[in-house]
Amino acid sequence: MLVQIREKAREIREEIAQWRHHFHRHPELSHCEFETAATIAQALRDMGYDQVKVGCKGKDICVVADLGQGDKCIALRADIDALAVQEERDVPYRSENDGVMHACGHDAHASMLLGAAKILKGMENDLPGRVRLIFQHAEERGGGAKELVEEGVLEGVDVVFGQHIWSPVPSGSMTYCEGPTMASADMFELKIQGRGGHGSMPHMSVDPVMAACSVVSAWQTIVSREVDPLDAAVISVGEIKSGSVFNAIPDSALIKGTTRTFNQDVRKNIAARMEEVAKAICSAMRCEAEFSYTNMLPPTVTDVDFTRFAVGVAKEVLGEDKVSEARPTMGAEDFSYYLMERPGTFMFLGTGNEGKDMTYPQHHPKYCVDDDVLELGAAMSASVAWAYLNR
């Protein structure tokens, strides 16, 4: 049957590409996916789906559809939102929404899942269970999955499968990780209050810049000296603001950044220790410190058994030599919220193609997807669903 699914995906490859081009031409930001959701819902209804729910938290920005009958159920997820990026690539289906672009491949995810939906609909009478299709909003802002989980999207679901197209991987290949796959992603902010003064008389001021420099350096010792070397962790400062003229000591400084790790205990300890270190150093340097830490996304940790099952399916669909294990990435994904509730896996479908100048990384203004991989993604989702329900 997996061979037949692969053939069915090949037969509708042009339709899948047309869906992607439409979504790419009309990108919408997180929590604004109204037209995208409407297009997906109508496409599903045109296929014959009668269990189509549009919306979450009172806004028609996502779609959930059910297929089949029975107790056993697998959920397939695709994210559908775009990024605030100005497209720089000249393609026939270039974004018509100025300053907004599908620079992360969610247009491909949505179209591939629509392709899988069409394939599975044609097999509905032979499905020994149920498939739930989740076209999720607001992945880029990290809230869509959490909101859907809160609204019960996983009720009655046994396992969940997701995939992400990935430019570092050659087109047509797929990679995976067993267990920790993508990191948590949190945000921190430190406000340091000192007392300003003239640069020629530093003894008359309380310098928040010196305190800021000391804190940033000391934070790195949390990773290098307090985290087990076998537990990866990152503390990155991305923003420092202080002062406006060259010859004056400012009265305050602001530091912002992000932390990443795969371990929830490490995650909690980093947050606590960053605050302790910052306040202690600022106090020693006569400054006041106000620290805030925001948990944004938990780590994405796949179920080992289900991952190995999906890898077996991938090898049949794509070929034994096209599937390989990869190292985890410090990037983050809100698919993590599904995996905190149900076993499942998250895999990476390569779209890197030097011959087509398609090697730009995600979020780049020249990012582009190789249309040749779309049928593979559709076949992969449909095959995992079929194989799981017949397991």
What residues are annotated to the active site? Answer: 81, 139
| Rounded Cα–Cα distance for residues 327 and 362 (Å) | 18
| Rounded Cα–Cα distance for residues 178 and 302 (Å) | 6
Locus of tokens 């031409």: 25
Amino acid at 244: S
Q: Do the beta carbons of residue 28 and residue 34 sit within 8 Å?
A: yes
Amino acid at 291: F
Closest alpha carbon to 204 in 254, 241, 249, 252: 249
Annotated binding-site members for Mn(2+): 104, 106, 140, 164, 363
Locus of tokens 């100025």: 98
| Rounded Cα–Cα distance for residues 199 and 245 (Å) | 10
Residues ≥6 apart with Cβ < 8 Å to 100: 27, 28, 29, 82, 83, 84, 85
Ramachandran category for residue 292: left, alpha or beta (phi over 0 → left; psi -120 to 50 → alpha): beta
Annotated binding-site members: 104, 106, 140, 164, 363
Locus of tokens 């397939």: 76
Q: How many helices (H) and strands (E) does the chain have?
A: 10, 16
Q: 13-25 vs 2-11: helix axis angle to the nearest 10?
A: 60
Question: Strand, helix or coil at 369?
Answer: coil
- The pair of three-digit structure tokens given for residue 25, joined into one six-digit string: 């031409």
